[in-house]
Amino acid sequence: MRGKRVLVTGGAGFLGSWLCEALVEMGAHVTCLDNLSTGSIENIAHLMGKENFSFLKEDVCKSCPEGFDYIVHGASIPSPDDYMRRPVETMLPNSIGLLNCLESARKSDSVLLYMSTSEVYGDADLIPTPEHYWGRVNPIGPRSCYDESKRFGEALCMSYLREYGVDVRIARIFNTYGPRMDLSARYARVIPRFIIQALRNEPITVHGDGRQTRSFCYVSDMVKGLLKLLLSDCKGEVVNLGGEEEISIIELANLIKELTSSSSSIIFLPAREDDPRRRKPDISRAKNLGWRPSVTLRDGLALTIEWFRKKGGFK
């Protein structure tokens, strides 16, 4: 990657900032484009002085610069509490923003990696879910602004491949966690929310009966998977990236309680509409590319809790 020009949209966010960091370390010239709607400068502050890193505060729906060897499109509003609050804003980076990135890729002959999501499968009835599963998504439900815009985004990528030959790759990312996730408990995703609640010894809030499952992946594994997909010979491929350790949300709450030595109680809130009952990827395709996650949930959570303790000033 030495000397290669890479654009990362959403690069000041959780995953984007780790990806920028890895690419900078590999010697690439990285441009991070972000409007800071859910990300923060703090996530990339340590990269700011480097000669092979630059930051562009911009809305990708307004414009996308040209002249890159690689584009990774990750700009998005991915937290359910957040995207349900601003559904229109959520749809745009995966449609207009992605269109701008694909046009840039077409003009400069760039490889484009689209950061899609397991949510394209909706409430899947095939578990573990392979890439050939078409999904079971409510097209007009409260989650549709995210799910359907990602599905549109995937279709747009494949259309640019078929019509213009643009080298696109699609990562279907399953729940990923780790340091730099948003600390604000209100719009936080499940792991940061549980950790903050546990560290404050406040009630841990579980939506529904807690028997719904997820398969979490630690951020360092996910970044390796994204790089593998970006740099492999896999034009036009769609690949699941995620953890294989399926855990129920109630088990997750108890594990976080144990790892934080918290006295929190666990309370139950109404279930979220259209919340998938089970989520676990079939990662055979990623394994064939030579990727598999290596950090266990227990180890990854311990690292994440340590970071949250320091960041939030908890003892």
Ligand X SMILES: NC(=O)c1ccc[n+]([C@@H]2O[C@H](COP(=O)([O-])OP(=O)(O)OC[C@H]3O[C@@H](n4cnc5c(N)ncnc54)[C@H](O)[C@@H]3O)[C@@H](O)[C@H]2O)c1
Site residues (CB under 6 A) for ligand X?
A: 9-10, 12-16, 34-39, 59-61, 74-78, 93, 97, 115, 117, 173, 175-176
- Between residues 39 and 225, which has the closer beta carbon with respect to ligand X? 39
Kindly tell me which of 1 and 120 has the beta carbon lying closer to ligand X.
120
Q: How far is the CB of 265 from ligand X (least distance, A)?
A: 26
Peptide bond into 128 cis (omega under 30): yes
Which residues are registered as beta bridge partners of 206?
268
Residues linked to residue 6 through DSSP beta bridges, in sequence order: 30, 70
Angstrom distance (rounded) from CA 237 to CA 268: 40
**CB-nearer residue toward ligand X: 161 or 181:** 181
* Distance of alpha carbon 240 from alpha carbon 242, whole angstroms: 7
Residue 6 or 262 with smaller CB distance to ligand X: 6
Beta carbon of residue 195, minimum distance to ligand X (angstroms, whole number): 15
Residue 303 sits at φ, ψ, to 5 deg, of: -65, -40
Q: Cα angle at 98 between 93 and 101, to 5 degrees?
A: 125
Least Å from the CB of residue 227 to ligand X = 14
Smallest gap, in angstroms, from Cβ of residue 82 to ligand X? Answer: 8
Q: How far apart are CA 25 and CA 68, in angstroms?
A: 18
CB of 113 to ligand X, least distance (A): 11
| Catalytic center residues | 146
* Strand ranges for the chain from DSSP E: 5-9, 29-34, 53-57, 70-73, 111-117, 167-173, 176-177, 204-207, 213-215, 217-218, 238-241, 246-248, 266-269
Query: Which one, 136 or 165, has the nearer CB to ligand X?
Result: 136
Q: 151, 145 in Cβ contact below 8 A?
A: no
- Burial of 145-157, coded b for 16+ CB within 10 Å and e otherwise, reads bbbbbbbebbebb
